[in-house]
Structure 1
């Protein structure tokens, strides 16, 4: 009986030992893992802290020290003054270009309508009513009619009627031509002077680079890159302003010649009609 109880106790002790040993081993494994992970985490923490500023610096947007925006924001007074002058020239050139293109297109349209309707009317008054009140052809026609109907005055009577009407029509044509020519002088001035204004900005930028070299005592790239970059930008802007002005000037001159030839043809035909009416009235 005692041997059986001893055997039972031994069996229970053996089973308890077998049950506890895996738990102890698992606990030891967890402690070992925690001990090995702690140095790794301690090592990774400085790496992460060191990488954070680098990532922030990479994502942070940096200003280009050689860009046009940097010149506008941080450039010296001379550079900014040159930019303002070139900007005014460019805006003025484009404004004149669009306005004069609109005027010539409008005048060309009026010329087509005049050829189609004016000289087919029964009388000059009906012809005048068919023209636009604010148009150049209406102004020329009204001037010619008024000169033909009103030829009085102590001095103007010394001028024969034909010459008087011709003079007034020519004056009206000249006024129309002067209006079309308005602004072309500005385009010519911009086209001839803006490259030199940009060149002045270039020379000034190179002077600033040489000054910084002299102050620093060495020709490092960070000392001269900014002023030299600004100098090249000034040259490019000067050319960008000059080229459209020159092309626009030549284009407008050719368009004005074509349109004014139609205006002068209308004026000559109107003069003939007015002189023919006078002869008919004289009979």
Structure 2
């Protein structure tokens, strides 16, 4: 913390902008990590409980009601409603066959649910990819500023070089500290999203086959 404060006190506007950018990346990524950890865990749990109850229900209305009560993240209900959603009169979709219409509506609902599950993944990937380079830029800029100060202040020495350069290296460490949790969370969330997506794809396929046999 003292090295960070020393860097902040001795840096110019560019160095402070880099430090603030890393702080913003860290706050946004950790907020997203904590929030998505809760929502994805809840989504997995909801799917595990709602799907068996849906197929065990005696009729469509009760099956939908049970799924709605358990679908906290609203990733299952769009698929259920898509199977019975009417089309506007006179539309191109209305002229297509029932199977084509059903396939299209289930596919669109599946994409909507998967997009909801993947929310925030782009931010985590961006932070993980760019934070080390932002920190490295802050280090290079800090070393450059330190060398300029040494050049204007007489003969250089190890003591005069080590302090400013050590403070500048804190930015590289800060960039890695921001990037590593974001990358780990991105990979972990990707695995959980893929598991939920597989469950939803299987449910969409089963729902399509069920509705095809109904008038």
Under a length normalisation based on structure 1, what TM-score does the superposition of the two structures give? 0.69
Q: Which moved more, 1:71-80 or 1:212-221?
A: 71-80
Which residue, out of 68, 75, 79, partners 2:4?
68
Post-superposition CA distance 1:123-147 (Å, at most 9, x none): 1111011122652212210121224
For residues 122 and 116 of structure 1, the distance between their equivalents in structure 2, rounded to whole angstroms, comes to 12
CA distance in structure 2 between the partners assigned to 1:246 and 1:223 by the alignment: 37
The alignment status of 1:249 with 2:186, answered yes or no, reads: yes
Match of 2:119 in 1: 182
**Contact preservation (8 Å) 1:144, 1:165:** yes
| Matching of residue 106 in structure 1 with residue 45 in structure 2 | no
Partner residue in 2 for 1:80:
16
Partner deviation per Cα, 1:103-128 (whole Å, 9 max, x = no partner)? 22122111112232111111111101
Find runs of 4+ consecutive structure 1 residues off by over 6 angstroms. Answer: none
Question: Would the aligned equivalents of 2:51 and 2:67 in 1 still touch at CA under 8 Å?
Answer: no
Q: Do the aligned residues in 2 keep the contact of 1:201 with 1:234 (CA within 8 Å)?
A: yes
User: 2:97 and 2:89 mapped to 1: Cα distance?
Assistant: 11
Matched with 1:268 is 205
Contact 2:94 2:101 in 1 (8 A): no
The 5-angstrom pairing of residues 36-47 of structure 1 reads none
Tell me which residue corresponds to 2:102: 165
The answer to whether structure 1 residue 125 and structure 2 residue 67 are counterparts is: no
Match of residue 209 from structure 1: 146
**Aligned equivalent of 1:91:** 27
Structure 2 residues without counterparts, runs of 5 or longer? none
List gaps (5 residues or longer) in structure 1.
1-63, 279-283
What is the TM-score normalised by the length of structure 2?
A: 0.90
Compared with structure 1, are the counterparts of its residues 180 and 168 closer, same or farther at alpha carbon in structure 2 (3 Å cutoff)?
Answer: same
Q: Is the CA contact 2:128–2:179 (under 8 Å) kept in the aligned structure 1?
A: yes
In 2 relative to 1, CA 154–253 (structure 1 residues): closer, same or farther, beyond 3 Å?
closer
> Kindly tell me: are residues 151 and 76 of structure 1, through their superposed partners in 2, closer, same or farther at Cα, counting changes over 3 Å?
closer
Structure index of larger Rg: 1
Deviations 1:129-186 (A, max 9, x none): 1122652212210121224xx5743522321001101111110110111112222111
Q: Tell me, yes or no, if the aligned pair for 1:209 and 1:223 is still in contact at 8 Å.
A: no
Q: Which residue does the alignment assign to 2:80? A: 141
How much is the aligned-residue C-alpha RMSD, in angstroms? 2.0
Q: Which has the higher contact order (CA 8 A, sep 6+)?
A: 2
